[in-house]
Structure 1
């Protein structure tokens, strides 16, 4: 009980820290990125052509500049399975014949003095774990940076309000222009350094969380 009282402030601080990391809508980090205005001064020549907005006749309208939008198709599927087993067997046997002295057995209370000992140990353990996850859908993201080799750094989020809670999808990563299709889409497995987050907030999401005291009893801090 004394140990629990001493750890109570630490647990409260941990609970406060976890509440501060709760995702919020309109997070500035995921704010839309608008293209830079590189409009050159117009010369009164009568032409309506502008070089910075021009698109080649034989190219697709794919994201390639800061502020452009690319649609990412979420086709994530992971499976993991692990199996382990071991068996340990050990045995020993010791027998000492009756002791003799002067050609006759040594006796105590009329019984020959001898010794016998044997033991055995057999231990067998096995463990199996399996886990699978899948995520499908689509999310559009902004190009926030164009790297020197032409790769695009993308970032975006989507919030959906359902009843009394919100569900959101967030993604960041790096996309090769060659992997973007003619429909301006790219599959999530082709996004490098991808960080995909799908979760929710609200009453329904909170009901599935474990309380801070229960987390303590399930953590490595609990000595029993």
Structure 2
């Protein structure tokens, strides 16, 4: 057996695991420009009617006297009130038991039982007893409150509004951000042009951060290496 070649293969595998862990650790940090799915949407451009022939009416500049200022078009602003709270708990318990008994009577040969010194030699019996007991509990609680103002990125054919947006806050040596996108019904928008987050369909809400505090609360790449499924230890 080639011990040197075997050790070299282990070293190569370890180096590959380290490289994968470092790359995954570096790519996990969020950036401002990592996705276009949360960028604000601008309203459609309005062509100026140059040849209006002195008319006071201009296309695209109409004003309704009976409609409120709720969001309804691409580029309109709407406030999402974050009211997320989830509580989940689960417990399970299992207990099983089983007993089995099998006996084989003494075999008779020529009308007499097969014995050796009076002891039956072809008589046997099997007895099994199995018991199992298992128990598990799990609980989780999450809460997120606040607000974020986003823009309408698309008006669907049924009148629903697809909204998206993000908010970044820089505090000392760190940054925190909130991102959200989803679909809102115009009927759910309140008079203050706001809608609670639990009424946003297909919602994707992200709350995270980057910087010194975020790095202090995250596991290092070496710890991730030993916690990953690729770890041989």
TM range (shorter): 0.7 to 0.9
Q: State the Cα distance separating 1:25 from its structure 2 match.
A: 2.8
Where structure 1 has 5 or more consecutive residues not aligned to the other structure, the ranges are: none
Partner of 1:187 in structure 2? 196
Partners of 1:13 and 1:184 in 2: how far apart? 47
Counterpart residue number, 2:176: 167
RMSD: 3.0
State the 1:185 CA deviation.
0.3
- The alignment's TM-score, normalised by the length of structure 1, stands at 0.81
**In the alignment, what sits opposite 1:69?**
77
Report the secondary structure of 1:52's partner residue: coil
Indicate yes or no: 2:61 matched with 1:16.
Answer: no
- For residues 90-112 of structure 1, give each alpha carbon's deviation from its aligned partner in whole angstroms, at most 9, with x where no partner exists: 2334567899999899566x988
* Cα distance per residue 1:25-49 (max 9 Å; x no partner): 36672333322221441524362x5
What TM-score, normalized to structure 2? 0.78
Name the structure 2 match of 1:88.
Answer: 96
Q: Which moved more, 1:86-95 or 1:156-165?
A: 86-95
Residues 1:54 and 2:39 aligned together:
no
Equivalent in the alignment of 1:215 = 224
Equivalent residues, number:
222
Secondary structure class of the residue paired with 1:205: helix
Q: Give per-residue Cα distances to partners, 1:106-158, cap 9 Å, x unaligned.
A: 566x9887867644222100111111111110000011122222221111111
Match of 2:4 in 1: none
1:140 to 141, 146, 149: 149
Segments of structure 2 that go 5 or more residues without pairing to the other structure are 1-6
